[in-house]
Amino acid sequence: MRLLSIFLTLGVLFFSGCATTKASYDYGAFREHHPKSILVLPPVNNSNDILATPAVFAQVALPLAESGYYVFPASLVQETFRQNGLENPNEMHAVSLEKLYEIFGADAVLYMSVEQYGASYMVISSDVVVKLKGELVDLRSGKSLWSGEAAASSAEGRSGGGDPIGMLISALINQVLHTINDDSFTYAGIANNRLLSAGSDGAILFGPRSKNFNNEGF
């Protein structure tokens, strides 16, 4: 009986451990100041393409809204800053947290930057790459709630190898097609979804408007 009791105890501990997964990301501040509304500022553009900021900014609301947050409309945010004489994302990011809260009344602000955007030609390959970074900050306490980065590329899933001359021709054709079709905008949307969608360890947490609020499993 004693041996059976030991086995049963170990079994309970084992299955209890399987049912609970501890997040590797520290969500302490996020859970303490869990925001309901998010103000997203136009991303700072660290890439060489002037279209990077508007392309990324136009697609940030959807993944955040689907994750359970109220997101201030991009047009409202830009017009508010414009009326206050600010049209450059770097200037907008320099506005104090107190002033942002006074103007918008949001719970948190999301600072984003575009690290890479557009097609790059590298002799035998031409790929569209979009890389983003983001940080969510509580507007009243000034605490950083979350930060992350994500990327999307047209090279994903492509197999290597092949005839070098054929690859060179293909790269030239792809470069032209990427420019004509503006594929960067598409991959900006993919990168946005990867950065700002809740549900996985390291991502943002689900917001109060989501049925999965406080039910991430970690």
Is the per-residue pLDDT at 168 higher than 70? no
- The arithmetic mean of pLDDT across residues 126-145, rounded, is 95
Stretch 127-148: mean pLDDT, rounded?
96
74-83 and 97-104 are packed helices; what angle lies between their axes, rounded to 10 degrees?
110
Of 210, 195, 215, 217, give the one whose Cα is nearest residue 40: 195
Quote the pTM value.
0.80
pLDDT given for residue 124 in this prediction:
45
pLDDT, tens only, 203-212 = 999 999 999 9
The CATH number of 22-196 is: 3.40.50.10610
170 pLDDT higher than 80: no
For 23-79, write each residue's pLDDT tens digit. Answer: 899 999 999 999 999 999 999 999 999 999 999 999 999 999 999 999 999 999 999
Say whether pLDDT at 125 is over 60: no
Residue partners of 145: CB distance under 8 A and separation at least 6: 29, 30, 33, 35, 108, 136, 137, 138
Count CB-CB contacts under 10 A for residue 217: 11
pLDDT in tens, 71-116: 999 999 999 999 999 999 999 999 999 999 999 999 999 999 999 9
pLDDT at residue 137 is higher than 80:
yes
**What percentage of the chain has pLDDT greater than the value 70?**
75
Q: What are the DSSP E strand ranges found in 15-107? A: 37-40, 44-45, 70-71
pLDDT band at 154 (very low <50, low <70, confident <90, very high): confident
Q: How confident is the model at residue 176 (pLDDT cuts 50, 70, 90)?
A: very low
Task: Name the more confident of 16 and 189.
Answer: 189
